[in-house]
Amino acid sequence: MLLRKEYAKDDAGELELDDDGNPTVTHLTILEAPDVGGAHHFSPRLVERGIADGWLGVGGGEFTVKTAKGKADLVFKIVEPPGTFCAHCGERMSSSPDALAHIAAEHDGEDSPDAQNPSGYRVDNYYRTERAS
Ligand SMILES: [Zn+2]
């Protein structure tokens, strides 16, 4: 996904600054986005920044990316928040040690089905989402 922040400007075309001297984001222009049904990963840092800037809304298990007035917002259903997951069965784990204990108990002797994670579990540091509209 490719986004461009649009900033508030006064009548002379100068950036309007907030009390801290930062330009004010009014909305985003979406330059490139996955199709409806397509997958997208949101990093926690992007989510925090989007909420702080006001162009990202969170609620009902969805992220809403606010676009220009008159244009439809982009809505992404949160499929899975960041976390640790068993590569064999997909189950969410509370920690890496828990994942290793789970694999020893449930998948003993099986090769990891995920070649990139030969230990048998993966740590996702992003929100796995799917574009809903
Ligand atoms: Zn498992």
For 51-93, the DSSP string reads HHHTSEEEETTEEEE-BSTTSPPEEEEEEE-SEEEETTT--EE
Is 12 inside any structural domain?
yes
pLDDT at 47: 95
Counting the structural domains of the chain, the total is 1
Is 63 inside any structural domain?
yes
For ligand 1, the distance from its centroid to the CA atom of residue 89, given in whole angstroms, is 4
Is 23 inside any structural domain?
yes
Is 7 inside any structural domain?
yes
Is 18 inside any structural domain?
yes
For ligand 1, the distance from its centroid to the CA atom of residue 104, given in whole angstroms, is 9
- Dist. CA 76–CA 11, nearest whole Å: 35
For ligand 1, the distance from its centroid to the CA atom of residue 108, given in whole angstroms, is 10
- Expressed in angstroms, the distance from the first to the final Cα of the chain is 14
> 58-102: per-residue pLDDT in tens?
999 999 998 887 788 999 999 999 999 999 999 999 999 999 999
Q: The whole model's pTM is what?
A: 0.80
For ligand 1, the distance from its centroid to the CA atom of residue 46, given in whole angstroms, is 30
Is 60 inside any structural domain?
yes
CA dihedral 50, 52, 55, 59 (to 10 degrees): 80
For ligand 1, the distance from its centroid to the CA atom of residue 62, given in whole angstroms, is 27
> 16-55: per-residue pLDDT in tens?
998 888 888 888 888 999 999 999 999 999 999 999 888 8
Is 130 inside any structural domain?
no
- Dist. CA 77–CA 98, nearest whole Å: 28
Least Cα distance to 86 among 66, 63, 105 occurs for 105
Is 24 inside any structural domain?
yes
- Residue 34 is given by DSSP the state P
For ligand 1, the distance from its centroid to the CA atom of residue 128, given in whole angstroms, is 19
The domain containing residue 16 runs over which residues?
2-36+55-78
